[in-house]
Amino acid sequence: MQHVKVSWLRKFNYSLVGATVILFVTYFAFELQSVSQTTKDKWGITPLILALGAIHAIYVVVSDQLLVKKQPWLTSLISYALFAFLIASIIESSGNTNVYYRAAYIVSVFFTGMIGLYAPLTAIIYTWMILIFTITGIATPTNASLTFNVVADSLLTISGLAGWYYFKRYYVTGRKEVQLQSKLQEEQFKTGVILESISDGVMIINNKGTVEILNQSTADLLGWERKDAEKLDYKSLIEPLGSDEEDTVEQDAITECISKNSAVKRISLLKTHHDRQIYVDIVASPIEQEVVNADGKHSTEHVGVVAVLRDVDAQKRQEEQRSDFISTASHEMRTPVASIQGFIELALNEKVSTIDDKARGYLDKAYESTKHLGRLFQDLLTASKSDDGRLENHPELINVQEFLEATVDKERSQAEKKGLTLKLAEQKATGKQVTPLMFVHVDPERLQEVLNNLIENAIKYTKKGIITVGTSLQDQGVVIRVSDTGVGIATEDIPHLFQKFYRTDNSETREVGGTGLGLYISKQIVDSMGGHIWVESSLGNGSTFYIQIPRVSPEQLEHLKQQTTDNPKV
């Protein structure tokens, strides 16, 4: 109930005791100096008044020791009630005309506002009731005039309400601010404990790019003293390096997050404050705050970025070593495998050698195995290059329809050997509609690799039926689809289909060979083109693989054609 701290209430109680002490001093001073009875009557200090004052003083001292810490509001209210009774008694004893006592009473009522509303309200009601009883004759008439009593009681009313408002307005608000500050400090402490308990680096950056908060893990990772790193521009802490060790701000996940206002995840090679180069996995996410606009509508406002930095240097270095080993081993193994394959081809050539049918059957199996082994080494080499960014990319302007026609023609014979039909879906134009021209700007060899992989997979996993290749336009992109009537893919396998070395495992696919790298490589290639690859399938109902690649606009088409004319391939 109280509006101030307990220490203030204690001071208020003891100040009332101080007033009682003044009464005692005044009484004994009058007695020692033989003051006239008229003067004594004017001040109204009697032994009864002193007894009431002593009771009040004893209560304050005792309650301070026993109750003030448990019931400060109630203790102070009782203390003031005793003091008010003391003041009322001395005012009555002095003939109700002593201006000093009235003034002291009015001032004391002001300070009761720190106890709450009930204390001044009780004093105000009590005072006006006494006046009403006096006017109506219920109480004994006083020597003071009616005007004096009305003015004094009005001032007391104003004083009580003003005191309540003052302490509520200024001290309650201040107390709430202190409480909020304390709560804020508590939350900051909790946040600090959480941040420091995280082994990963965490930074909070405002819209201006200034680092507001970072934990010790961030400072240790980037080689900075924490106190020096705070309030710096984050670009001073994070210096991304490209694969060619040139500064490339575009590779900075935080910069991209700020510009796009969306979460970005990227592994970057960073230069630390001590000039070390380390690989760091950075996840940057925007911080949004709900605000109320001038029209009262709620909206979200981007206020900064939270970035989580994880040291993946050792892991990345191991991956590089593993990739280098696979690349070297694959490259070295391709040569002897190619030689073996070549010699087997010579042995199978009737113009070069003569062998019986049984030996030819063995050699045919050996030839297929060497082809599979060669494909495995090639896939491993391609996957390794894709993982570490060494996959070459030479984009050219491609007419998608013509490109698909050529691809289907090359793969048709392989499908026919298995008794399958491979066809290109026709693009039909009706009425005045014109078949749209679809051009993309990608590396033809890489696109060919993806299409060959999808078509060959369709042939391998289709026992009978039709394989269809088609195109369409969707959201300013060219969509290429490869559909088959094969065994299909189980729903639980689809999320893992484009992972490295993943292969479906069921009775229909177990006997079909494969490396488990084809779809992984295809996804890596399509992603590098700025495209998207996905599949729609169910077990036993065939599959349709989709590739969406950004389409070249008519303006870009003319520009690229002009570039091709000005810079023809040698």
Average pLDDT over residues 292-318: 83
Kindly state whether residues 96 and 122 are assigned to the same domain: yes
Segments in 400-503 forming alpha helices (H): 400-417, 444-460
Residue where one domain finishes, among candidates 270, 288, 311 = 311
pLDDT at residue 448 is higher than 90: yes
pLDDT at residue 245 is higher than 60: no
Q: What is the 3-state secondary structure (H, E, C) of 15-63?
A: HHHHHHHHHHHHHHHHHHCCCCHHHHHHHCCCHHHHHHHHHHHHHHHHH
CA distance 183 to 104: 40
Kindly state whether residues 15 and 102 are assigned to the same domain: yes
Q: Which amino acid is at 339?
A: S
Residue 254: half-sphere exposure toward Cβ, Cα within 13 Å: 28
Kindly state whether residues 257 and 158 are assigned to the same domain: no
Residue 390 DSSP class: -
Kindly state whether residues 378 and 410 are assigned to the same domain: no
CA distance 432 to 160: 91
Average pLDDT over residues 441-450: 92
Q: Are 207 and 306 in contact (CB under 8 A)?
A: no
Residue 121: half-sphere exposure toward Cβ, Cα within 13 Å: 6
Kindly state whether residues 105 and 173 are assigned to the same domain: yes
pLDDT 10s digits, 451-505: 999 999 999 889 899 999 999 988 778 999 999 999 899 888 898 889 888 877 6
% of the chain at pLDDT higher than 70: 86
Torsion of CA 131, 135, 137, 139, to 10 degrees: 10
What pLDDT is stored for residue 284 in this prediction? 93
DSSP 249-309: GGG-HHHHHHHHTS-EEEEEEEE-TTS-EEEEEEEEEEEEEEEE-TTS-EEEEEEEEEEEE
CA distance 371 to 367: 6
CA distance 461 to 415: 11
Tally Cβ neighbours within 10 Å of residue 396.
Answer: 14
CA distance 556 to 562: 10
- Residue 183 in 3-state DSSP? helix
Q: Which amino acid is at 237?
A: L
CA distance 527 to 153: 86
pLDDT at residue 446 is higher than 80: yes
Average pLDDT over residues 86-94: 80
CA distance 343 to 524: 34
Domain count, the chain: 4
Residue 190 in any domain: the answer is no
Kindly state whether residues 246 and 327 are assigned to the same domain: no
Domain with 205 in it: 201-311
Residue where one domain finishes, among candidates 180, 211, 234 = 180
Burial class, 177, CB count within 10 angstroms (exposed 0-12 / middle 13-18 / buried 19+)? exposed
- Residue 168 in 3-state DSSP? helix
Residue 137 in any domain: the answer is yes
The backbone region for 296, taken as left when phi is positive above 0, alpha when psi lies in -120 to 50, beta otherwise, is left
pLDDT 10s digits, 165-186: 888 776 655 556 566 667 777 7
What pLDDT is stored for residue 244 in this prediction? 44
Kindly state whether residues 363 and 271 are assigned to the same domain: no
How many residues can be counted in the chain? 570
Owner of token pair 């000093």:
100
pLDDT 10s digits, 354-364: 888 888 888 88
Kindly state whether residues 334 and 453 are assigned to the same domain: no
Higher pLDDT, 568 or 45: 45
Residue 191 in any domain: the answer is no
Owner of token pair 């270095």:
317
Kindly state whether residues 341 and 379 are assigned to the same domain: yes
Residue 136 in any domain: the answer is yes
Residue where one domain finishes, among candidates 295, 311, 327 = 311
What pLDDT is stored for residue 243 in this prediction? 46
Kindly state whether residues 413 and 520 are assigned to the same domain: yes
Closest C-alpha among 499, 507, 504 to residue 537: 504
Residue 193 in any domain: the answer is no
Tally Cβ neighbours within 10 Å of residue 161.
Answer: 17
- Whole-number Cα distances in Å, 466 to 260, 270, 281, 421, 458: 44, 51, 45, 5, 9
CA distance 184 to 204: 18
Residue 194 in any domain: the answer is no
Residue 188 in any domain: the answer is no
- Residue 503 in 3-state DSSP? coil
Residue 196 in any domain: the answer is no
- Whole-number Cα distances in Å, 501 to 251, 379, 456, 517: 29, 11, 17, 5
Kindly state whether residues 221 and 328 are assigned to the same domain: no
